Amino acid sequence: MMVKRSTQAAGSERAERLKFAIPKGALAGGTLEALASIGVDPRVIKESGRQLVIATGRFEFIIGKPSDIPVYVASGAADLGIAGKDVLAELDLDVAEIVDLEFGECRMVVAEPENKRESVEEAYAHLGVIRVATKYPRIAERHFASRGVQIEIVKLSGNIEIAPLIGIADQIVDITQTGTTLRENDLVIVDEVMRSSARLIANPGSLCTRSEAMAEVISGLSVKPLQ
Amino acid sequence: MLPREARERTHIAQAMLDVMSAWGYGAVETPVAEEYAVLQAGVGKSLEGTAFPFFDADGQLLALRPEMTVPIARLAATRLRDKLAPHRLCYHSDVFREHASLRGQPRQFTQVGLELIGGKTPAGDAEIIAVLVEALRATGLSGFIVRVGTVEALEALIRVSGKDEPWRQAVLGAAQSRNLVAIDALAGAQDVSAQVRTALVTLPRIRGDRRSLKSAREVAGFCDGVSDALESLEATWELLEAAGVDDAVSIDFGTMRSFGYYTGMVLEVFAPQLGVAIGGGGRYDSLMSEFDSPMPAAGFAVGIERVHIALSQQDRLPQAEDVDAVLGGEASHAFAAARQLRESGMRVRQSLRAGEELVAEAAAFGAKQVLLATGEGLYRLDEKGSPQEPFDIGQSLFSQRPASTGGKVT
C-alpha cells in the first residue's frame, strides 16, 4: 500500500539509524515483545545496564520515562516511540498516532472512598466544587468540564489512591488495570474517563523525510493487517 | 537576537522574498493588532487559544495576529477590490501565538509567505508549491520535502458515509491531530459501509510520488468527491514536473492542517533532522467570501526561525561577517579614511585599539581587513599588528568584499 519513492533525501536516509523512544516501567515488557516481532533481540536492551541510548541494527533506542516519550517524539529527538494513550491524551502534543499495539491495556477512572460516598455528594451540593487528585490534570479537567462539574485539581505525581485517605481530595482520577489497588484503599469506581493501551507514535516530519524506513517499521508493528 | 543572527535571518528572508518578487509577488504589511471579529471570521473556533486578545481604550476586542492569511485576505477584499485579479502578495512579518505554558513553543515568530488570491486549482496550487520550493532552495536548504495532501478527499468520504455530524467532526478532529488509531476506530463503527470503512482506514496512510494517486483511486475512487480531488492533484503534479520541483514534493493523504479555513490542497514542509514543520499552507477558496469578495485563493507561510535552525544543522548558514574591516589610528585620520572606505562599499568598524589588540578585534568580528589610518595614509596591518603595505581604497570595491556569500550582504 505504501508507495516507494525516490526523493532527494533517499540517499541520506539509508545511512542513519531510526531513533526509537521506548518506555521503561509498566510498558517495558510489552514493548520488548513487540520489538522482538520486528527482529530486535530483547537482550540487547535488557542487558544494557544503565545505558539509556542503545544503538543496534537499524535502530537507536532511547529509553525514557513513559510520560516523556511523546515529548521526545514531538520534538524530533526520536522518529518513533511507544507511549500509553493516557500519557498521549494528557500531553496533547503534535505526534502521529499510528498503531494501537494492544498491550498495557488499562482504564482511566474516577474513584472515591466507599464509606464517604454521601459526603462527596454533600460536599458538591454544599460547596459546588469537588477536589480531585490526579497525575493527569488536563484529562481530569476535560472530563469534568464535559459533564459540567466544577472541580479543583490537586496534582500529585504518585500514590494517588492515598489522597482521599489523607483528606486532600474527595475523588481521584487514575489508571487501573485490575482494580486491586483501588479496592485495597477502599476506593470504588464511579465513572470511566477513557480506555488506554500502548500506541506506536511517530514524528510527523520523520514520516515525511524518512518515509521508507518508517513505513517498514510501522507495517512490522501493525498488530492487525490493515483492511 | 544579536547582530550576527539577525543578519543571517535577514539573508534567509531576503533570499525567499527575492524569489517571490521574481514570480511577480509584491510585499504588503498589515497591522499587528486586528479586530478579534475579523480574525475570527476567517479562522473560527481555532482562534481560541491561539490569538492574544486584548481590549483597547474604547472597549473594543482586538487580538495580535496569529498568522497572516486572514489579515491579507481582508486587505485584498477591501483595498484591492477593483484591481485586476489574481493578486500576488507576499510578506515578511512577526506573528504571535498563545500556547499552553511549558510546551517549549515560542509565542512570537517571523514568517515569510505569500498569498495568491484569485488563482484557481490546479495552476494556482502548482504555482505556490513551485515558489515555495524555489524560495527554500534559494536559502541554501537541502533535503526538505513539501508534503502535499487534500482535505477534500476526507471530507467527501465523510459526506458519503451517511453518518451524523458528531461522527463527522470526530473523524475530522482525529485527522487533524494525526490520530490514525482514532480514525480506524471511528471507521469501524456500525453502519459504515465496508467500502467507506476501507477507504477511511487506508487513505490517510497513502504517501509517495505520483503513483500514490493511483493507490488512492483504487481504494476511494468510488466516491465522486475523492475522484475530483485526485484529478486536481494529478493535474497539479504534472505542472510541478514541468516546473522542475516535483523531486522536492511528496503526496501524503495524511496531511491535514489545524487552521479550519482550508478547502482543497494542503501542504506542510519538513527538513531532515528537524522534528517540526518549517512551513505550511494550502487552498482556502471560501475565506474571501467571509469578506464579501468571493474568489479562490491559496498561500503558504514559512517560519524563518525554523529555517534558520535547519540551515545551521546542515551547516549551510549564509556567510555573514559582521564587518569587512576594522580601522585603527588617530580619530581625526580614521574618520576621514572610514568615510572613503564606506563610500567604496565596505562596512567599517572604527576602533581605539592598536597593534595585536586591533588584530584580535578584527578576528572577533570576522573582518577580512585590519587597517591603520595615519597622517601619511592608510596601511594594512599584519597578524602581529605591525603596518605593512599601503591600502588602496580604489581597489577595495573589487578585492575586499568576499566573493559570493550565497546571498546579498545587507
Per-residue pLDDT tens digits for A119-142: 677 777 777 788 999 999 999 999
Question: Helix, strand, or coil here: A112?
Answer: strand
Q: Locate the chain B residue with the closest alpha carbon to A73.
A: B275
Q: Does B207 touch chain A (CB under 8 A)?
A: yes
Quick one: B174 exposed, middle or buried, by C-beta within 10 A (0-12, 13-18, 19+)? buried
Contact state of B276 with A76 under an 8 Å Cβ cutoff? yes
Q: Report the DSSP pairing between strands B348-350 and A18-23.
A: unpaired
Q: For residue B203, give the H/E element and its range.
A: none
| Minimal CA separation from A83 to chain B, in Å | 13
SS3 content of chain B, % helix, strand, coil (to 5): 45, 20, 35
| Minimal CA separation from B198 to chain A, in Å | 6
pLDDT of A7 above 50: no
Residues of A with CB under 8 A from a CB of B: 1-9, 12, 73-77, 93-100, 199, 203-211, 226-227
Q: What CA–CA distance (Å, rounded) separates B201 from B182? A: 10
Contact state of A209 with B143 under an 8 Å Cβ cutoff? yes
Q: Enumerate the residues of chain B whose CB falls inside 8 A of the CB of residue A6.
A: 209
Grid cell locating A204: 510527523
**B329 and B337 Cβ atoms separated by less than 8 Å:** yes
Q: What CA–CA distance (Å, rounded) separates B190 from A15? A: 45
Q: What CA–CA distance (Å, rounded) separates B285 from B187? A: 28
Contact state of B202 with A199 under an 8 Å Cβ cutoff? no
Counting every residue, how long is chain B? 410
pLDDT of A100 above 90: yes
CA dihedral sign of residues B209, B212, B217, B218: positive
Residue A16, pLDDT score: 85
**A38 and A57 Cβ atoms separated by less than 8 Å:** no
**A199 and B184 Cβ atoms separated by less than 8 Å:** no
Residue that the C-alpha cell 514536473 belongs to:
B241
Grid cell locating A12: 541520506
User: Number of C-alpha atoms within 13 angstroms, CB side, residue B349?
Assistant: 20
How big is chain B by its Cα radius of gyration, in Å? 27
Q: What are the residue ranges of helices labelled H in B221-267?
A: 224-243
Contact state of B145 with A209 under an 8 Å Cβ cutoff? yes
Determine the angle formed by the axes of helices B194-202 and B151-161, rounding to 10 degrees. 160
Contact state of B209 with A3 under an 8 Å Cβ cutoff? yes
For residue A63, give the nearest of A46, A85, A43 by alpha carbon. Answer: A46
Q: What CA–CA distance (Å, rounded) separates B65 from B32? A: 6
DSSP codes of every residue in A34-74 = HHHTTT--HHHHHTTTT-SEEEETTEEEEEE-GGGHHHHHH
**B300 and B133 Cβ atoms separated by less than 8 Å:** no
Spell out the residues 6+ positions from residue B225 whose beta carbon is closer than 8 angstroms to its own.
B152, B153, B155, B156, B157, B159, B160
Phi/psi of residue B49, nearest 5 degrees: 85, -5
Residue A39, pLDDT score: 92
Q: Does B147 touch chain A (CB under 8 A)?
A: yes
Q: What CA–CA distance (Å, rounded) separates B71 from B30? A: 7
Q: What CA–CA distance (Å, rounded) separates A84 from A64? A: 13
**A134 and A172 Cβ atoms separated by less than 8 Å:** yes
Nearest CB to A205 within list B177, B197, B277: B277
CA A46 to chain centre: 21
Grid cell locating A178: 485490575
Query: Which of A4, A7, A16, A201 should one mutate to test binding to chain B, selecting the residue with the greatest count of B CBs within 10 A?
Result: A7
Q: How much is the ipTM here? A: 0.81
Residue A122, pLDDT score: 73
Contact state of A8 with B147 under an 8 Å Cβ cutoff? no
Question: Helix, strand, or coil here: B88?
Answer: strand
Rounded to 10 degrees, what is the CA torsion of A207, A211, A214, A220? Answer: 120
Nearest CB to A97 within list B178, B247, B248: B178
User: Each residue of A17-58: pLDDT tens digit?
Assistant: 999 999 999 999 999 999 999 999 999 888 887 889 999 889
Q: Enumerate the residues of chain A whose CB falls inside 8 A of the CB of residue B273.
A: 76
Q: What is the pLDDT along chain B (410 residues), one digit of tens a residue?
A: 788 888 899 999 999 999 999 999 999 999 999 999 888 877 766 676 678 889 999 999 999 999 999 999 999 999 999 999 999 999 999 999 887 655 667 788 899 999 999 999 899 999 999 999 999 999 999 999 999 999 999 999 999 998 999 999 999 999 988 999 999 999 998 889 999 999 999 999 999 989 999 999 999 999 999 999 999 999 999 999 999 999 999 999 988 776 678 899 999 999 988 888 999 999 999 999 989 999 999 999 999 999 999 999 999 887 767 789 999 999 999 999 999 999 988 999 999 999 999 999 999 888 989 999 998 889 999 988 888 888 887 665 444 444 444 444 33
Determine the angle formed by the axes of helices B151-161 and B165-176, rounding to 10 degrees. 160
Residue A201 pLDDT class (50, 70, 90 cuts): very high
**A45 and A61 Cβ atoms separated by less than 8 Å:** yes
CA B329 to chain centre: 45
Q: Does B16 touch chain A (CB under 8 A)?
A: no
User: Which residues in B357-373 are b (16+ Cβ under 10 Å) and which e?
Assistant: ebbebbeebebebbbbb
Quick one: B162 exposed, middle or buried, by C-beta within 10 A (0-12, 13-18, 19+)? exposed
Residue A116, pLDDT score: 73
**B317 and B311 Cβ atoms separated by less than 8 Å:** yes
Phi/psi of residue A99, nearest 5 degrees: -135, 135
Nearest CB to A226 within list B103, B202, B277: B202
For residue A152, give the nearest of A141, A143, A138, A160 by alpha carbon. Answer: A141
Determine the angle formed by the axes of helices B304-313 and B3-22, rounding to 10 degrees. 110
Instruction: Report the predicted TM-score, pTM, of the whole model to 2 decimal places.
Output: 0.84
Q: Does B97 touch chain A (CB under 8 A)?
A: no
The size of the A-B interface in CB pairs under 8 A is 107
| Minimal CA separation from A16 to chain B, in Å | 11
More confident: B347 or A117:
B347
Q: What CA–CA distance (Å, rounded) separates B239 from B398? A: 42
